[in-house]
Amino acid sequence: MTEHYFAPHPDARHDPREVEIDLKGTRFRFLTDTGVFSRGGLDEGSALLLGAVLDRVSGAVLDLGCGWGPVGVITARLCPSCRVTMLDVNARACLLAEENVRHNGVDAEVICQDGLNGTGQHYDWILLNPPIRAGKETVCRLFRESADRLNPGGILAVVIRKQQGASSAQRYLEGLFGQVTLHCRKKGYHVYFCAGGTNDAI
């Protein structure tokens, strides 16, 4: 494999497909393609993350590493008072996310860039299913940038699989945030809520 879904410009041959997701009595339709994460549908980690946050999120919400957009689009539809931004480094994923925002009739901004530096925006919630294949250095950088981009009182909600380093990720997050709580776990996936970041007085 010469590239992964964190590549800015994947060169895999296009093979678009449509997937449907039913959640909380609402049906969503998404366009996916090769060269993006979990092109076959909503992955288990993102599903667990959504279940953990949908009854809690408010204010400005960032879907960090949005891929083709299921987390951001579903949040925007089911939590309409939220101001949702979706960000990814993968240009193909961002085009799909923009199409899926339109297709599902939601209001969300899509930003295509590597990480949060330079956006000038801060958030009340950051939702992250980290790009494990991109490597530990990249994942830790996204954790650091998230800590710096949360509003006071904001929360980073991150899902990570036990086999992919949940314990070491928790230790790293505890060095960045005043409070790291294991909110839930299922089938080897752990969802952590991280509060007390850079902009909080702790």
pLDDT digits (tens, 9 = 90+) for 40-80: 889 999 999 999 999 999 999 999 999 999 999 999 999 99
Q: What is the 3-state secondary structure (H, E, C) of 95-112?
A: HHHHHHHHHCCCCEEEEE
Answer with the residue of higher pLDDT: 179 or 119: 179
From CA 125, how far away is CA 56, in angstroms rounded? 10
Tell me the average pLDDT across 177-181. Answer: 96
Q: Are 112 and 81 in contact (CB under 8 A)?
A: no
From CA 32, how far away is CA 37, in angstroms rounded? 9
Domains and CATH numbers, the chain: 43-195 (3.40.50.150)
Q: What is the pLDDT of residue 12?
A: 65
Q: Are 72 and 86 in contact (CB under 8 A)?
A: yes
CA angle 68, 148, 183 (to 5 degrees): 65
For residue 38, give the 3-state DSSP assignment.
coil
Answer with the residue of higher pLDDT: 138 or 119: 138
Nearest partner of 192 among 165, 164, 173, judged by Cα:
173
Answer with the residue of higher pLDDT: 24 or 202: 24
Q: What is the pLDDT of residue 1?
A: 35
